[in-house]
Structure 1
Amino acid sequence: MQIDTEKLKAFYADAPDDISLDNIALDRMPCHVSIIMDGNGRWAKARGLDRSEGHKAGVASLRETVTASVRLGLDVLSVYAFSTENWRRSQYEVNMLMHLFATTLVKELPLFHEHNVQLKFLGDIEKLPIETYKVFKRGLDETADHTGMIFALAVNYGGRAEITRACRRIVQEVHSGKLNPEDIDEDTISAELYTGGLPDPDLLIRTSGEMRLSNYLLWQLAYSEFYVTDTYWPDFNKWDFLRAIRAYQTRNRRFGGVENR
């Protein structure tokens, strides 16, 4: 995507001592950044607040990260919002999250229109509460013609479930005679994932210091660069995002090969 340097400089004005746009090579930006947004509950607990307040505070961080991604010219930003395992949480927290997803999306649609962002969902959103699903469908419909950055929100998503679903769809293609087993390759599988048509993430960011994937994008993250920060998600800001980009740009990505000298 084309970068509007004037808007980018304005967005990243008043840099802290350790990071600025001067540290970033704008011609070597990752194409796809994905984020495991973790630490909302612990952020709230540290402040003596209900977990719901942490989730609400995390919305501001997400808004700032979406804007930063647009300004930096990313093609795709994806975030892990609600896993297939998160249904095990208390009914109160699940209900609160479903309501928060719906109300937040309605409020943020003007931002998507302003920045020409196309919304995409990863996961089985048809199994969400009907009101949440209707709002998500509205977001998909209203941004379908947008040609800017793709923002992919993983809701009711699990990596193992995604791969299982892809296998079933491929088997159906074989049974119907549309696909020969000998023709199945990595591209065949990738095309049947929720991320079909999107590039694999170049960079995965995980907040709150946890060192695990949590059943997220198990296929797609095979050669992604990882960046883990102890910062809880509600405290993660545009400068933290820039630090992650800088770390990514110092990596030597060999994709299983060796460095040419």
Structure 2
Amino acid sequence: MSRPPLYAALHSLRKVRDAGRGALLWGYERRLLREVRGHGRLPRHLGLILDGNRRYARAAGLQRELGHSFGAEKAHEVLQWCLELGIPAVTIWVLSTDNTSRDPEELAHILRLLEREARSLATDPRIHAHRVRVRAIGQHGAFPPQVLAALRELEEKTAGYDGMTLNIAVGYGGREEIVDAVKCHLAGRAAAGAGLADVIAELKPEHISAHLYTAGIPDPDFIIRTSGEIRLSGFMLWQSVYSEFYFCDVYWPGFRRVDFLRALRDFQGRERRFGR
């Protein structure tokens, strides 16, 4: 059945309008990219809190698990953006220690995604071409064996690389990280024969920093959180003391390149004082 002439005309106008909007957005994105590259100052270590997968799915009328799947695809996109700009270190927070108490079906889906993405990254040409060292940070003891094996294979295949460092924070909590660091320091000093009084007297912040999951790379100078939530929720509590923060209203699967570039331009416009 043919459509009424008015309907067809309106449909054509919408197509022209949407094409025009796309062209405008593309032009704006190109301008932002030139500004960001032209400024020169980029984060040495970018932290990303990937928030809003479930709400994205709910808003779109999709199954909850699809939100996590779309979120995993978005992480691949954002990795590409970071590689193109030459950001030296990136930490993405995929799963918190609090998240592990979620509905068992949802958690199982997230862990299956994690296994799939780890195996995918292990053979991703971009990872090897750019010599990206990938590390899984957090507490993984309770993960299924196949997930642990996939993460271990990914770390082993990239262990010798000296390009970008990509930390995947899974089973991660900032408080747990600090506790683990303190335990490592105490165990090391005890093995060296130091007494408790000596350990207390000599303890300095750098002793804790040396045992954090991110030891050996700069603290994050810029942290982006999506979904409109304005809090850290325990992300890199020790390392973020002088970080700059950017809170974006869009849910993680809907995070666009233009949103990413806006955030970086905002970072470049800030004066960092480091408490001085």
TM-score (norm 1): 0.89
- The residue aligned with 1:150 is 165
Inter-partner Cα distance in structure 2 for 1:38 and 1:93: 15
Paired letter, 2:177: E
Out of 152, 164, 179, the position equivalent to 1:164 is: 179
Out of 17, 32, 35, the position equivalent to 1:20 is: 32
Out of 63, 78, 88, the position equivalent to 2:101 is: 88
- CA apart distance, 1:178: 5.7
- The residue aligned with 1:225 is 244
2:46–2:222 contact (8 Å) kept in structure 1:
yes
- The residue aligned with 2:4 is none
Out of 67, 79, 83, the position equivalent to 1:70 is: 83
- The residue aligned with 1:56 is 69
Out of 233, 239, 242, the position equivalent to 1:214 is: 233
SS of residue matched to 1:34: strand
- CA apart distance, 1:104: 1.6
Out of 202, 205, 228, the position equivalent to 2:224 is: 205
Out of 249, 254, 261, the position equivalent to 2:273 is: 254
SS of residue matched to 1:153: strand
1:19–1:243 contact (8 Å) kept in structure 2:
no
Inter-partner Cα distance in structure 2 for 1:178 and 1:202: 37
Inter-partner Cα distance in structure 1 for 2:29 and 2:87: 25
Paired letter, 2:107: V
- CA apart distance, 1:233: 0.2
Paired letter, 1:125: H
Out of 136, 147, 161, the position equivalent to 2:151 is: 136
- CA apart distance, 1:70: 1.0
Paired letter, 1:193: L
Out of 43, 46, 53, the position equivalent to 1:33 is: 46
More divergent stretch after superposition (194-203 vs 103-112): 103-112
Inter-partner Cα distance in structure 2 for 1:160 and 1:16: 40
Inter-partner Cα distance in structure 1 for 2:27 and 2:273: 32
- Structure showing greater radius of gyration is 2
253 and 69 in structure 1: CA distance in 2 versus 1, 3 angstrom threshold = same
Q: Which has a greater percent of helix?
A: 2
Paired letter, 1:202: D
Poorly superposed stretches of 4+, deviation over 6 Å: none
- CA apart distance, 1:224: 0.2
SS of residue matched to 1:125: coil
TM-score (norm 2): 0.84
Unaligned stretches of 5+ residues in structure 2: 1-24
Aligned residues: 245
2:121–2:154 contact (8 Å) kept in structure 1:
no
Inter-partner Cα distance in structure 2 for 1:155 and 1:19: 35
2:50–2:92 contact (8 Å) kept in structure 1:
yes
19 and 146 in structure 1: CA distance in 2 versus 1, 3 angstrom threshold = same
1:64–1:237 contact (8 Å) kept in structure 2:
no
Inter-partner Cα distance in structure 2 for 1:69 and 1:53: 24
- The residue aligned with 1:9 is none
Paired letter, 2:103: S
SS of residue matched to 1:20: helix
211 and 164 in structure 1: CA distance in 2 versus 1, 3 angstrom threshold = same
Cα-to-partner distance string for 1:192-220 (whole Å, 9 max, x where unaligned):
11111111001000000001111111101
More divergent stretch after superposition (41-50 vs 122-131): 122-131
- CA apart distance, 1:166: 1.2
220 and 125 in structure 1: CA distance in 2 versus 1, 3 angstrom threshold = same
